[in-house]
Amino acid sequence: MKKFLFLVMMAMTFAITPNNEINAQQEAGEVVISAGAGYSLISRLITVGSNASSIPPIYLNVDYGVTENFSIGLAGSYNSFSYDDIDIFGDPLSVTGTRNNIAARALFHFGDNPKLDQYAGLRAGMTLWGYQDSDNIAEENLNLNVSSFRVLYGLRAYLTDNLAVNFEVGLGSPYIFNGGIAYRL
């Protein structure tokens, strides 16, 4: 995690230097695709223990610039967890679960740095939970769909005209913070 944060800070430092004229702000009709991974407190709590593991939330976002300062988009994320242990009767127990999130995003872009796109917005959608244990007892297998909301702040630091590193922090589902790469079409 420290290496990731160091890389984000280095990219931001590079982006703030004024010797390059890359335009970071959204423009009407512009499409930006972002992909990466996040950190989820729920995933961390579910996988506490020596026999537990998880795949962190992996995300893909597509944002479309409606105007210079406003974009709408679609977002999706996936993460999974598993736990292996012995149940109270001494039988092996294996539990697996998944969490998929599909949402719409509305973002307001601000700032005047030509290489740093800052934005704040709202993500609203559905989280699809799936749970299954090794006993395959129907009553214990769970599929649950719940509404999800996230208020977020993010930034994209453009390294070239089209390629950027991105970082978001927010409150709500599916993750607390995430980072990755972004590509402007």
How large is the average pLDDT for residues 175-184? 94
The whole-model pTM stands at 0.76
* C-alpha–C-alpha distance, residues 79 and 139, integer Å: 23
The SS3 assignment for 57 reads: strand
Partner residues linked to 63 by β-bridges: 32, 73
Count, residues in the chain: 185
pLDDT in tens, 95-130: 788 899 999 999 999 988 878 999 999 999 999 988
How far apart, in whole angstroms, are the C-alpha atoms of residue 174 and residue 106? 16
* DSSP 8-state code for residue 43: H
CA nearest neighbour of 131 among 140, 122, 120 = 140
Please tell me the predicted confidence (pLDDT) of residue 89: 78
Residues 6+ away with beta carbon under 8 Å from 161: 22, 23, 184
Query: Domains (ranges, CATH) in the chain?
Result: 2-184 (2.40.160.20)
The beta strand positions in the chain, using DSSP E, are 31-39, 52-65, 70-86, 92-110, 116-133, 142-158, 163-172, 177-184
Q: What is the pLDDT of residues 31-85, one digit of tens each?
A: 999 999 999 877 667 666 667 788 889 999 999 999 989 999 999 999 998 877 7
Q: For 146-158, how does the pLDDT look when each residue is reduced to its tens digit (9 = 90+)? A: 999 999 999 999 9
